[in-house]
């Protein structure tokens, strides 16, 4: 995501058609990160909000509600968000989304809503990430800073590197 408004994102027309199609032709759909933000905007005009700095790291989320989608989950689990934007938990709740998991530092991570015939599951984090994904993104963001594509040197992912590695990276 590079544009202030979701409507200005190059993929917006395709994503909005996909959200509409999924609501009418699926039993359930999973939306992660920018796709979650796009789907929430398409469904309820809830805009993502740019955070002062990118949220990146490993954070412990906790179950916020009982739901069949959380059957078998422990009460807390690690989540690796990596995003410059956020969708506010209060705005989601006001529009009828059920918050399934959240954490103080990251807000709502996992939430759900029945949309016509489909149960939509939204993730602001990236449960699909491999163990080295945040490190690769951090290196990419450093490269963007060094080439002038970004004006700000990136913050190190929180709770991700062990103490020794974090010290070595900041030398």
The residues carrying an active-site annotation are: 33, 126, 128
> What secondary structure letter does DSSP report for 157?
P
| Inter-residue contact 134 to 142 (CB < 8 Å) | no
| Inter-residue contact 82 to 56 (CB < 8 Å) | yes
Q: Of 23, 95, 4, 129, whose CA–CA distance to 108 is shortest?
A: 95
Cα dihedral sign, 14-16-21-22: positive
Residue 26: Cβ within 10 Å count: 15
Q: CA-to-CA distance for 38 and 33, rounded, in angstroms?
A: 9
């Amino acid at each position: 995501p590079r544009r202030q408004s979701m409507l200005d994102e190059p993929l917006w027309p395709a994503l909005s058609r996909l959200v509409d199609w999924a609501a009418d032709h699926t039993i359930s759909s999973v939306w992660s990160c920018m796709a979650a933000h796009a789907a929430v905007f398409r469904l309820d005009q809830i805009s993502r909000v740019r955070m002062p700095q990118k949220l990146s790291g490993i954070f412990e989320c906790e179950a916020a509600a009982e739901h069949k989608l959380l059957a078998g989950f422990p009460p807390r689990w690690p989540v690796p968000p990596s995003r410059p934007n956020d969708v506010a938990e209060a705005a989601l709740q006001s529009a009828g989304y059920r918050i399934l998991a959240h954490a103080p530092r990251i807000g709502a991570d996992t939430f759900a809503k029945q949309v016509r015939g489909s149960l939509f599951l939204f993730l602001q984090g990236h449960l699909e990430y491999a163990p080295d994904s945040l490190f690769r993104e951090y290196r990419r963001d450093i490269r963007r800073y060094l080439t002038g594509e970004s004006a700000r040197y990136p913050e190190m992912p929180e709770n991700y590197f062990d103490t020794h590695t974090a010290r070595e990276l900041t030398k």
